[in-house]
Amino acid sequence: MQNLETYIQTGGRYQSLIDIGLVHYQFETIHPFRDGNGRMGRLLIMMMMCDDDLLPEPFLYPSSYFNRNREEYTNRLLAVSRDNAWQEWLVFFLRGISQQTEEAFSRASALLDLRDDYRDRYQDDANSVSQLSMEIFAQPYITVNEAKQMIDMAYRTANKAVDRLEEDGVLEETTGQSRNRVYRAKEVFDIIQKPVDELQYR
């Protein structure tokens, strides 16, 4: 692990994505923790991409690709250890980064289209409603108290805005309770959770 840390901190010998693929393999091979090595290894991919200025924020979700191709993923890692099959592993890894980039772009585009739709739909409504319809993209789970803080208005005003968006199907209540209710941005989550094969690539 110390050698791997040094390699990461000092920069490898190859192009950034190649180095990240090498590091991911090595980290999973070392398997330093009793649990969570897969999650930590995938997080490390995002951290290194951000550190190398390949991403401004950790927008990609490599777990989606690895989980869809779990058998090939484990076979490719094993083949490096067993047969020194680095090229095959790196092609698989880079293909995954490419696919996840397309997926992230498609979801982001759909969210931007939805935000534009809300902006047009509520531009003539009360400022509380139009403002809250924008804020839910940054915080898609909210309570009325959180909505109050987000739009910087009175509780009663925020409650009315939440009610309006709930009536329109923009928000949906998730607890089934009469108090301490939590709402989620339904259409935002529909996009986030949409299966990959239903995404439309531009």
C-alpha distances in Å from residue 164, one per residue of 43, 88, 125, 160, 178: 38, 53, 10, 6, 17
Convert the pLDDT of each residue in 7-49 to its tens digit: 888 877 889 999 999 999 999 999 999 899 999 999 999 999 9
| Arithmetic mean of pLDDT over the chain | 93
Reported as a single tens digit per residue, the pLDDT across 137-176 is: 999 999 999 999 999 999 999 999 999 999 999 999 999 9
169 within 8 A of 186, measured Cβ to Cβ: yes
Of 61, 33, 32, give the one whose Cα is nearest residue 46: 61
Q: CA 11: distance to chain centroid?
A: 26
Q: Summarize the chain as % helix, strand, coil (round to 5).
A: 65, 5, 30
Q: Which of 194, 16, 18 minimizes the C-alpha distance to 103?
A: 194
Give the pairing type, strands 171-173 and 183-185: antiparallel
Q: Domain spans of the chain?
A: 2-99, 122-198
Task: Give pLDDT, residue 12.
Answer: 77
Return left, alpha or beta for 180; rule: phi > 0 is left, psi -120 to 50 is alpha, else beta: left
Q: What is the CATH number of domain 122-198?
A: 1.10.10.10
Evaluate if residue 198 carries a pLDDT over 80: no
One-letter amino acid of 69:
N
Q: What is the average pLDDT across 78-95?
A: 97
pTM across the whole model? 0.80
What pLDDT, on the 0 to 100 scale, is given for residue 202? Answer: 56
H, E, C per residue of 36-55: CHHHHHHHHHHHHHHHCCCC
Q: Is 60 exceeded by the pLDDT of residue 93?
A: yes
| The pLDDT of residue 197 | 74
